[in-house]
Every structure is written in structure tokens, then in C-alpha cells.
Amino acid sequence: MAGSSSTFVAALTAAAVATVGFLAFQASATVPADLAEPRVSASSATTKAHGDTRDTTALPPGSGRGARVVYSVDDDRVWLVDADGTARRTFPVTPGSVDPLPGTYTVTSRSGAVTGTDGIPIEHVVRFTDVGGVSIGFSAAVDGAPPAADPARRTGGIRASRADGNAIWEFATIGERIVVVR
């Protein structure tokens, strides 16, 4: 009896997560274009880890020079930076359960479409390191869903929206620098 009860709860939880993901996708699909465009302008965003009031859209100090992708583990934010040091685009991301260590990496592999470690179909996968056997990289869920939250599963996918995932895919080709900061 306990087995069927836990199966029912698991099925109910999966259905709820799928419904929330679908509704989030629907909501994002109906946002007017002028509101959906990411901006690199000043905002009222704050860092989540430190609670300070610095502008999280500004490039983090110590994030290097030249063309690169900058990923802040503490802010859950990515910047695509041109060779002249100008951030062409910045956007929030949702990390998996395994974070990369701060440092400089390069894009080592890319996949157009695969199934993520959380079982969700993903696209535009850009991998740049491995932590304890877990591949770390950027991706976007085909259905727009955030990563499935399962504390027992080690996942390294850093999930972006489909539009932002496409921007990373176009920008971060094999060998492109990825700078990870706190």
C-alpha cells in the first residue's frame, strides 16, 4: 500500500511541475516584444548572495578582458561580452545542483538537442567543464521549463530561456572563453 501511495504522490508532483512549466512558457510567449528583450541597462536588481544593492547587470569586477561569457554563480546571471569589453547581452539563469568553481574555462563541446540530466529535452547545449563526473554547461529547455528540482540528483545544466539559450549558442562556439565568478 505504501508503494502505491508514494507512486501517486510522485505522479501528482510530476503533473504539478509540468503544469507550472507549461503556464510559465505560455506567459513568456505572450510578453510584448519590447518587454521581452533583455537589456544591459541599469536596473534595480540586487545580488542574491550578498544582499547588496549593486547593479547585477553590470559586469562583475575581475571577470577578465576581451570576448568571453561571464557566469556569476552567486547572482545566477550570464553576460555575453564582445572583444572590446562591452556586454552585448545579460540575463538571469537557473543553475543545476552542481556549480562550477570560479575560474577561466573554454567551451569544450556543444549539442544541438539532447535530453538533460533532469530528463527534460534541452537544446543549444554549450559545455565548458566537468565537476565530479557531472558535465557543466548552458542550455535551454525545449518547452521553456526550469530544471526539475530533485535534490537527490546531481545536475550541471545552467538553464536559460530559449531566447537566451540561442544567444549563448550563437556566441559561445568551441574554444570561446567562459569566466566563472562568485
Residue 83: CATH number of its domain: 2.40.440.10
Its pTM stands at: 0.70
The SS3 assignment for 137 reads strand
- Same domain (yes/no): 84, 162: yes
The SS3 assignment for 110 reads strand
- Same domain (yes/no): 83, 143: yes
- Same domain (yes/no): 122, 169: yes
Q: What is the pLDDT of residues 3-58, one digit of tens each?
A: 555 554 444 444 444 433 333 334 333 333 333 333 333 333 333 444 455 677 89
Element (H or E) spanning 122, and its range? strand 121-131
Parent domain of 46: 39-181
Q: Identify the pLDDT of residue 54.
A: 60
| pLDDT band, residue 90 (cuts 50/70/90) | very high
- Same domain (yes/no): 61, 133: yes
- Same domain (yes/no): 30, 44: no
Put the strands of the sheet holding 177-181 in their side by side order: 87-92, 77-81, 68-72, 177-181, 103-106
- Same domain (yes/no): 74, 28: no
The SS3 assignment for 105 reads strand
Q: Identify the pLDDT of residue 147.
A: 74
The one-letter amino acid code at 166 reads N
Task: Give the C-alpha separation, 93 to 73, whole Å.
Answer: 10
Task: Give the C-alpha separation, 24 to 43, whole Å.
Answer: 23
Closest CA to 81 of 57, 48, 103, 102: 57
Number of domains in the chain: 2
C-alpha cell at 159: 538553464
- Same domain (yes/no): 88, 26: no
- Same domain (yes/no): 153, 123: yes
Q: What is the pLDDT of residues 122-179, one digit of tens each?
A: 999 999 999 999 999 999 999 987 777 777 889 999 999 999 999 999 999 999 999 9
